[in-house]
Amino acid sequence: MTGLKAVTFITRDIDTAIRFWLIPGYSIVYGGFGSPFTSLDAGGGTFINLSTEATEPLAGLWGRVILHVADPDALHAQFTSTGHRPHAIPRDAEWGERYFHITDPDGNEISFARPVET
């Protein structure tokens, strides 16, 4: 691992969640009020993400930890070669990262990513 990039929290009310995370002085860098996904700059290259979208029905709220790695494609291959099933193949996202998601054995969703070079 090369660093912790972001933590994503699922929320039932994005506007209330945004207002809460603005209190410490974090600034909105993507999304915003009324958006299903919002990213706030927490400083030091770390972000708090808020989402109203879950990948499957859940009894409670859940989140996702995003970890930056040197090569998401190689790591994806390592996971699949050991029998793990990532959610999808790595892809370049519109927010500037190449990433894939995987669920750990305890049901926590992890995203492994790296910034896309422009």
pLDDT of residue 98: 96
pLDDT of residue 48: 87
In tens, the pLDDT along 66-101 reads 878 889 999 899 889 888 899 999 999 988 999 999
Q: Does the global pTM surpass 0.85? A: no
Place of tokens 């790595």: 90
CA 78 to chain centre: 20
Q: How far apart are CA 111 and CA 99, in angstroms?
A: 7
Using the predicted structure, report yes or no on whether residue 2 has a pLDDT greater than 90. no
In tens, the pLDDT along 12-30 reads 889 998 988 888 788 999 9
Using the predicted structure, report yes or no on whether residue 104 has a pLDDT greater than 80. no
Say whether domain 3-115 belongs to CATH 3.30.70.370: no
pLDDT category, 35, cuts 50, 70, 90? Answer: very high
Residue-range domain boundaries for the chain = 3-115
Half-sphere exposure of 74 (CA within 13 A, CB side): 5
Average model confidence (pLDDT) across the chain: 86
